[in-house]
Structure 1
Amino acid sequence: MTLYIDPPTWPGHGRMWSHLISDVSFDELHAFAATLGAPPRGFDGDHYDIPSDWYEAAIAAGAIPVGSKELLRRLTKAGLRRPKGRPAES
């Protein structure tokens, strides 16, 4: 299981957010997100939006912290990148 999370530097809804991805499968990503308590609505096509106050818990649960550019590189290399406007798999 390999999951990655970038720093909570993305603003939205009065909070800061991280992106959580898998470089293996969406099934792995959904299972890990569920263990964190992330709701299905947090899935945004190819990643979960994770609030900043969950960042340390995600790392403690096994997510590897990486920079945003590295996260995108790993997601793209895994073939799991879903650019905005393309249908998402669940």
Structure 2
Amino acid sequence: MTNPLLQLKELGQSVWYDNIDRSQLASGQFQRMLDEDGVVGVTANPTIFEKSISSGHAYDEQIDRLIREGKSTNEIYEALIITDIQTVADILRPIYE
């Protein structure tokens, strides 16, 4: 069966993934979506990050470290999202070079 996302790509559409999740970044699942499904971008917003941060344990280590450093809630949130966005940007960079 033909991958419908690749069919969209063949028709000139740019498929973006509407989610960021650190566990998908760490496991290689996001990279597989780029390689196998033709995904070329990702969206991010506070709701997506809240869901990602509150489900699972992918953020626990960084949160614990930031708490020990005395960071505020806003500083912790900002550090978490910056880490993920930088990781995604690094993964996507070859697509745009």
* TM-score, normalised relative to structure 1: 0.31
Would you tell me which structure has more helix in proportion to its own residues? 2
Question: Which structure has the larger Rg?
Answer: 2
Would you tell me which structure has more strand in proportion to its own residues? 1
Structure number with the bigger relative contact order (C-alpha 8 A, sep ≥ 6) is: 1
* TM-score, normalised relative to structure 2: 0.30
